[in-house]
Amino acid sequence: MRNDPFFRTYSPRQEAMARVAQSQQEAMTRPASTAPVSGILEQYMVREEPYYRTVADEVELYEAAYSVRMPMMLKGPTGCGKTRFVEYMAWKLQKPLITVACNEDMTASDLVGRFLLDSSGTRWQDGPLAVAARHGAICYLDEVVEARQDTTVVIHPLTDARRMLPLEKKGEIIEAHPDFQIVISYNPGYQSLMKDLKQSTKQRFGALDFNYPEHEVEAEIVAHESGVSIDVAKNLVHIGERARNLKGHGLDEGLSTRMLIYAGSLIAKGVAPLAACRVALVRPITDDPDMRDALDSAVTTYF
């Protein structure tokens, strides 16, 4: 009786929810295209396997998220492997990757596109987000909190069940390509109250936590990336861990894996370890003379 159309009252909310459920169902069962990428996206293919050392179950989780095209947020401190991970996943999934480094001067037009003037008049040029949505790429918005909130909201219609991008100036709505996925990176420590993602943005994403890997794994990464021996890499990681313990006690941020790799690269080039650590680890992260001396002495215990 209840389902008898005659008795059914029209509820826009219910209708909308039914539509959402249907489109989510469709998205979940929709296979990614296997056709080779051609044309404009070819330049965005990751051709060679990037070195990525799996830390936990992040690869499987990301694959599952991609299979339902869930927008993803990679959270973690600077230099811990977020960018490398996206590159690796794009390679593994064989999808083009368009990366946008966000900054506070960025406008919605920088993402979506704009009319350009040339000798033949005006022509529309898709921005990186529009290219990714139209042709089916993974769009990685790096450090998205740096962008102003009025810029960030342009991703909203793409990150819910609508999966569309309105190009208001052009009067067009792009329905996202089935392969399109959006990924953002986010450093939870850096936000001020003024600069944080709105809840309505955050709640459109699944999130993966990244952090500096545990000792052995980080040493393996440092050795691989810099070319130093595993023993030297382990010493560098010890120094990194010492410095990370000082975070909040005079240091704003711990030493990143990236910095340890820099130090290792100098050592691999023949620079004396003490000098390499001073240049690549200690001097960049502190201006405070006491902290600098404390870190320098931590270095001398390992080299």
Contacts to ligand ATP by CB under 6 A:
51-53, 55, 76, 78-84, 185, 187, 221, 225, 257-258, 261
Residue nearest to ligand ATP (CB): 81
Shortest distance in whole angstroms from residue 54 CB to Mg ion: 18
Q: How many amino acids of this chain bind Mg ion (CB under 5 A)?
A: 1
**Choice between 126 and 146, CB closer to ligand ATP:** 146
**Choice between 83 and 149, CB closer to ligand ATP:** 83
Per partner kind, with CB cut-offs from 5 to 8 A, the member of Mg ion, ligand ATP, none near residue 102 is none
Is the separation of the CB atoms in 71 and 181 below 8 Å?
yes
**Choice between 55 and 98, CB closer to ligand ATP:** 55
Per partner kind, with CB cut-offs from 5 to 8 A, the member of Mg ion, ligand ATP, none near residue 292 is none
**Choice between 49 and 168, CB closer to ligand ATP:** 49
Would you mind telling me the total number of residues written for the chain in this entry?
A: 303
Helices (H), the chain: 12-29, 58-67, 82-93, 108-112, 128-135, 149-152, 199-202, 215-226, 230-245, 257-268, 273-277, 283-285, 289-302
User: In one letter, which amino acid is 109?
Assistant: S
Among 23, 24, 67, 83, interactor with Mg ion by CB under 5 A: 83
User: In one letter, which amino acid is 65?
Assistant: A
Per partner kind, with CB cut-offs from 5 to 8 A, the member of Mg ion, ligand ATP, none near residue 128 is none
Measure the CA–CA gap between 154 and 166, rounded to whole angstroms: 8
Shortest CA distance to 283 belongs to which of 296, 302, 272? 296
Q: Which stretch binds Mg ion (CB under 5 A): 49-57, 77-85, 150-158, 222-230?
A: 77-85
Is the separation of the CB atoms in 209 and 251 below 8 Å?
no
